[in-house]
Chains A and B, each alone.
Chain A
Amino acid sequence: MKTDGARSPDAQLKAMAAQWPDFQGRRLGDGTLAWRGLLRPKVRLYEVFLFWKPGAMTLPYVMVIDPPLEPRPGGTFAEIPHLIYDANDPPSSGLCLFDPDGGEWSAARLIAETTIHWIAEWLAYYELWHLTGEWLAPGVGYESVARMHAADAQIIREVKADVH
């Protein structure tokens, strides 16, 4: 399904090749667009992989390949902020880069001009989170799966206290 104003797959590939030459892009047989490339937002160099199937996926899915995501020392993956959390394989969790309900991205926008910058910003704030323990960038909703579960548990405790 192509929405009004959607950029064509060719336009997405062309913009990525022009603006991010260290990314290698390709179009798979089913129409999925995929890129693998390098970013150095602050301290470390990261290899990231992103894919998006126009018409089937509402947003690009982004994974950090190398170095793999790590919790803070003594922490858990579920505490890493702003992940599309994959409990079966936490290191392959996706990055939550924008508010899907906030109209911040659509197929009318170029991945090269939005998503890649947001990946770099996410990685920079991930490094700062490792240093400070706080996610210092603007966000909406729960910051992590761990916080969401903690909030759920608190609600359940309060309800249980009421019903007993």
Chain B
Amino acid sequence: MTHLLSGIRATAPLTLAGREQRAILMERYDRRDRAAPVLSAPRTGGIYAPAVVAAPERLREVPRHKFPSLHPRRADGRPG
């Protein structure tokens, strides 16, 4: 089965390179236990970790928030 992301087959055994790439991504973007900011680009919404790219002025910090617990949908769109 072709994975959502082009060029990656999630059901295939992970190669060393694949594991290394995932480890790098997790190191850069894992913000679960640290209050690291994340930057976004205008127009495209491109998301960047500050450690990956020196922040040019056009990038701005995404307003701090937490993704909440999910619940079944209610009529007003609010998590129930």
Interfacial residues of chain A within 111-126, with CB under 8 A of chain B in the complex: 113-114, 116-125
A153 contacts partner chain B, Cβ-Cβ < 8 Å: no
B69 proximity list for chain A (CB < 8 A):
96, 139-143, 148
When A120-B45, A120-B47, A140-B69 are in contact, do A131 and B8 touch as well, CB less than 8 Å?
A: yes
Q: Tally A residues with Cβ within 8 Å of B.
A: 69
Docked complex Cα distance between A41 and B72 (Å): 26
A113 proximity list for chain B (CB < 8 A):
63
A66 proximity list for chain B (CB < 8 A):
none
A134 proximity list for chain B (CB < 8 A):
26, 30
Interface residues of A (CB under 8 A from B): 19-22, 39-44, 52, 56-61, 67, 70, 72-74, 81-87, 93-94, 96-100, 102, 104-105, 113-114, 116-125, 127-128, 130-132, 134-145, 148
Interface residues of B (CB under 8 A from A): 1, 3-6, 8, 10-11, 22, 25-26, 29-32, 38, 40, 42-47, 60, 62-73, 76-79
